[in-house]
Structure 1
Amino acid sequence: MPLQISPLRKPFYVQWLWLGLILITLGIVIVFNLYVEHERAAIREHNRLLVQARVIAENTEYQLKSANLALENVRDNLAHWRDGAELQRVMRHLKAASIIPGIRTMNIVDKEGTITASTRAELIGMNIGSRDYFQAVKRHPSADMLYVSPPFETIHGFYVINIIRMIADEQGEFNGMVSATLDPEYFKTLMMSVLYASNMWVALAHSDGLVFLIMPERENMQGMSLRHPDSFFTQHQSSGEREKIFTGIVYATKEHGMAALRTIYPTDLKMDKSLLITVNRDFDSIFEPWRQNVLIQGILFGIIVLTSTIGLFFYQKRQRKFEKEERKIRALVNQFSLALDRIPTYIFMKDQQRRYIYGNRSTLELFKCSAEELTGSSDARFFPPETVARLQESDTRVLIHGEDTAEKVICKSQDGGPRIYWEIKTPIYENNMPTNICGLCGISMDITELELLKEKLEQQARQDYLTGLFNRRFFMEQGHAELIRAQRYHHPLSLLMLDIDNFKKINDKHGHQSGDTVLKRLADVMRKVLRTVDIIGRMGGEEFAILMPETDLKRAAEVAERLREEVACSEVTLETGMALYFKVSIGVASIKDKDTDLNALLNQADKALYQAKESGRNRVCIA
């Protein structure tokens, strides 16, 4: 008699059908999500590379504009040459113009190709008439054109690019040129500054196809020609677009990469040739995180398929053997445990003797032990004595008194810094009897970053961001409290209003950054001269207020005069190296009766300050 395979009952068949549909749907969702993530990674890298290319291009365009202005300035001053003294003055002007970042050398060349003036004395008298860049200007003369030479190797073995302005005679014909040599070291630093990964490189090339620089440096790359039908350089120039992204094999390096190319051609400059920047990153490294994600999701999907299939099989088997309830509970427990392991919170359980009997994955990772090592361990194994005492106290409240606790726990981390946890504990009852406590369950969350952020925000709410002094709002709060205290106990209290003299001129002449430096220097002087009990606040702009408890008007005036003298002697060194001195005017006021409020006191001191300003500044006036 042949074997007969009894068909699955309809409910079991439907379960397998649903499982298959869910797994197929899940697989489609995962594949679609991976596809979207791949596209996002590509777009994200496109944007990053383009941004880096724009940074270099915009900086280079700025340098070209600056160098062009310097060349035009030198060329326009050539008409004033009359004698040796004038020549020396123009030579000094030439050297001053070459100070612009990115310029290595500046030369003046006559129509025969002889260098008549140079920032490098050893070049004066040298004839460069046979050089290609000289001949290019001579063959196609234009007084309005900025000529950009192809890269060429110097006698010192490194490549440079010259930018040139033609000198015309009275008839507008070629009469020489003024040239500036771009400094490779400046552009190397600029190019290295945009590299955000170790597998990147940046190249700067001439529109003729010759490589000027590549960073990090590679052998035999400088001077290499990129004019090849398969090169990104040729494809970019053929596209006519200003910037473009390419993916594939890089012609110059034979590497598989993603490259952003951008043409450098300032719109307000007339240049005979342009430059081109390339920012490239290794293609495989761009999608390495994505491939790892594919592997992880693939493994998880396989685990899900295997787990769900096996789970359904055993579920049906339990149905056949009338063990549905027991196995269902076990499955729920397993799923709950897996869910707890995925929660990024420390979840644990202890018995009546305060020994650990369970910890989720986060807890095990925190304690750096296995589940077997955790079981039976006490807090003394993982925490310092002071923290153990605190934990045992809260455990006692839960295990003995049946309380639910929620509190902060502070302990030292392995690096010695404090870590702050928010810990919640609740009792576990045996047989659902509220009087029979068999253990506790705890949840602990690391809130260190949240507490630090809270502290930082509180500090920002009361401090002036520039000087570190109290801001106006917090000064007024502290001032009101101090005024009430002084009036209640009949103690003296004085207020200084201080303003920097001619601060607007400092900003206009030296720039706002120098003005900020002056404000910070003044804050430092006030901290040095005044007491720690004095309340210093920045009221706005260059105006400051100082509240001086336990200080009468005479003593406050003396302190104000000492502060004024200390400020007058203070020196601020600007970025240019120049020393800057500044002065202040100060108004002094003191409470005279118990009805005086803070605003009135501020008005009195402000009037005295105004009097000091009107009296010639750099002085102290008393209200």
Structure 2
Amino acid sequence: MARLLSRPVSAAIVIALFVAAMSGAVIGLVAWKAATARQSELAQRSAANENLAHSLAEQASHAIQSVDVAMSNIADTRPLQAADSERSRRRLSEIVERLPQIHAIAILDADGKTGTSSLADPVLPGDALASDLAYHRDRADRALHIFALRLAGQSGVGLSKRLSHADGSFAGVVVAIINTEHFSALYQSFQLGKRGSVSILRADGVVLMQSKPALSATASRHDLAPQPLPAPFTGTRKVVARDGGWRHYGYAHAPRYPIVVAVSQHDDDILQGWRDGLRSDIAVAALLLCCVVLLAALLTSQFRLRLSIERALRERETRYRLLADNIADVVMLLDRDAKFLYVSPSSQAVLGIEPRRPLGRCCFDFILPADIRSVRRAAARLTDATETRTALFRIVRGDRAQAWVEVNFKLAASGDPDGHEVVAVLRDVTERHKMEDELKALNFRLAELATTDGLTELANRRSMDDFLRLHFAAQDQLSLLLIDVDHFKRFNDRFGHQAGDACLTRIAKVLAEAAPAPGLAARYGGEEFAIILPGVAEPHAIRIAEAVRLTIAALAIAHPNGAATTVTVSIGIASKTKATASEEDLVRAADLAMYAAKRGGRNRSVASSSLPDDESGVVPLNRLISAG
């Protein structure tokens, strides 16, 4: 090559090829980076849109849920039969003021006439709600109905619930009109570009709300969600926009209601930053090409000198690299019988063994017997001179201490016609192995802390929810005990939080011992505990609850209610039945039973099956607080 490049014509050809190759590499790199960056930007934005859709779906679900709860309370109190209509109107107005996502709330009778409303003008157009009245008239359930509403020429969103007479007949509906400006202000705060939008759709494909109504009015059919929406309709989707570009959608179902949140962005908005970056890359590429041309000019005049210097530097670098790479390692050469032929001087510093001592001896003499088998197995797989094998084992150092070492070894061609020699590079990894063991122990401890309550050492709320969800689906018989410490706030106020923590710890120990395998005792929150009993029917659960209650009372922990008063607990018991639709229903039943125990005088166990039917509703928060 040097003789070839000594000729001016040949050198010019090589330099020209070099310039062409470098130019092609620069241009190819820019093209590859541009394509990769474009695809990455679209993928990231699609994922971001999906994540945003999930977050907004959760937000919309929580907003609707709070309205749902308020409407359920209104339906339970039967405001249509209230004698004081002004008081009912004030109550509706208070709900609207408390929930900013509501524009208005009203109660309509079976004929669609407005009975009570939070609006100054209490009349709502009956034709706008005719289909909604028909929807609830044909259904006996009190499920929340979400529908598109059009009032005064403007689109809106309505929520409604059925009202029933005492005999179960249709009595009317309670209707809440969603404040779309509340949602639009939030959705327009996201940077989605000029043509981006956030939409809320019903599960059957009806568009309920969009952050940019003007955009939806001019959008093509491709820009809207398909009709009807498949279930479940989640993830990302790309459709052709009206202008021929692409619109990227991220969809997410609300967790509790039949609505879908769709976040969309146009290609032009997404790729604006990518275009700016591409211009910068092109400018940099042009600069690099200029540098390549300049370098080629310099190489033409200095090629011969640089070639000779490069050859000398390469040889010197090879020798220095060998020394630098192995200065902290031990280089060894072994024959086919695993006997040492050569050991580098670094063995003295690394292993405390003089280089001459191992010569002629078998390498297995220095390996702990427990690790010899794994080393032999690794060596047996070494059949190709191009392969490198690694083994991790313990050896005995010169000071008789044990050390963990890592060895990389490979076959090396030798003059021996009957076999190959083995080149091995050994490194002391004792400290690294120790750190790995500590890291494993730490990871185990972190995993334990993630599922355990720090004070009581019982399972935490997250572990309890997972355990209950798993066994509710798997078990035909399942019971739940909810345990609440009676008047615990007074205990804390009188004796202090440290005494309160000690009290909870003692109670937790009783619960842990009372939960039979495979049951689970958990801290539900504050002074509330829970025991989940898979495979246990209600009679056995009642016996366990009574045993727990009596054992805690027997602890004789003094309570500030009086000199002879001790800490007691109230226990609610609920068992899975055919009517229990979910684990949330089971928890709700146990909670109501626990409240009944408190209301009945505390220090007692109450089964949910013993409660009258009229106690299956929602317990007001102020009553729970006053109950302690």
- TM-score (normalizing by structure 1): 0.42
